[in-house]
């Protein structure tokens, strides 16, 4: 018996507690966008992180791993496996830097450019889709309000 009675709890209103906080709405929206984006990238055999890395390498040819890690805000050890994945699929190459033989310059292969172009189109389409019904001004308002929140949270480092 899947009778929901016995305990008179209405699930639609159960989380009214958490709904009072702005962060709850932001988190839910972030999760929704991220899981949808993962779905969009799946046909290209890319995850969000590998897509991001590929995008940053293509837009910044010769980028080094440490720089990529810094921009993506991931630890260097975790970036290694991420770059490995892109290299093993021949989407990027690690070029030795002549002036500093410790470092690698990351560059996309022709195949990498091809895959990225197609994936990028899909991501742009997703961006348009999730903004459906919103004006350019509303889009900018959303980004601005989000930036205000982030700046309000910046100080408390120590």
Q: Which residues bind DNA (CB under 7 A)?
A: 1-2, 47-49, 64-67, 69, 74-80, 83, 94, 99-104
Q: Which of 64, 89, 94, 107 binds its own copies (CB under 8 A)?
A: 64
Residue 125 phi, psi dihedral angles, 5° rounding: -65, -40
SS3 per-residue string spanning 46-104: CCHHHHHHHHHHHHCCCEEHHHHHHHHCCCHHHHHHHHHHHHHCCCEEEEEECCEEEEE
Distance CA 103, CA 76 (A): 13
Q: Under rule CB under 8 A, which residues in 30-49 are in contact with its own copies?
A: 30-34, 36-37, 39
Distance spanning both ends of the chain, measured CA to CA = 54
User: Judged by CB under 8 A, does residue 76 bind its own copies?
Assistant: no
By beta-carbon proximity to its own copies, the closer residue of 14 and 114 is 14
Site map (CB under 8 A) of its own copies, residues 80-119, x = contact? -----------------x-xx----x--------------
Distance CA 70, CA 60 (A): 14
Quote the radius of gyration of the chain (alpha carbons, Å).
Answer: 21
Residues that bind its own copies (CB under 8 A): 6-7, 9, 11, 14-18, 20-23, 25-34, 36-37, 39, 52, 55-56, 59-60, 62-64, 67, 70-72, 97, 99-100, 105, 123, 126-127, 129-134, 138-139, 141-143, 145-150, 152-153, 156
């Amino acid at each position: 018996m899947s009778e929901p009675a016995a305990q008179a709890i209405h699930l639609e209103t159960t989380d009214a507690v958490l709904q009072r906080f702005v962060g709850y709405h932001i988190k839910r929206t972030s999760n929704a966008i991220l899981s949808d984006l993962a779905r969009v990238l799946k046909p290209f055999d890319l995850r969000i992180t590998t897509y991001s890395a590929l995008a940053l390498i293509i837009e910044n040819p010769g980028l080094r791993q440490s720089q990529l890690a810094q921009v993506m805000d991931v630890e260097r050890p975790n970036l290694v496996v991420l770059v490995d994945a892109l290299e093993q699929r021949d989407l990027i190459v690690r070029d030795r830097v002549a002036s500093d033989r410790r470092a690698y310059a990351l560059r996309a292969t022709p195949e990498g450019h091809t895959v990225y172009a197609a994936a990028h189109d899909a991501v742009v389409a997703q961006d348009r889709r999730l903004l459906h019904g919103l004006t350019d001004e509303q889009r900018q308002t959303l980004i601005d309000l989000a930036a205000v929140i982030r700046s309000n949270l910046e100080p408390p480092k120590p």
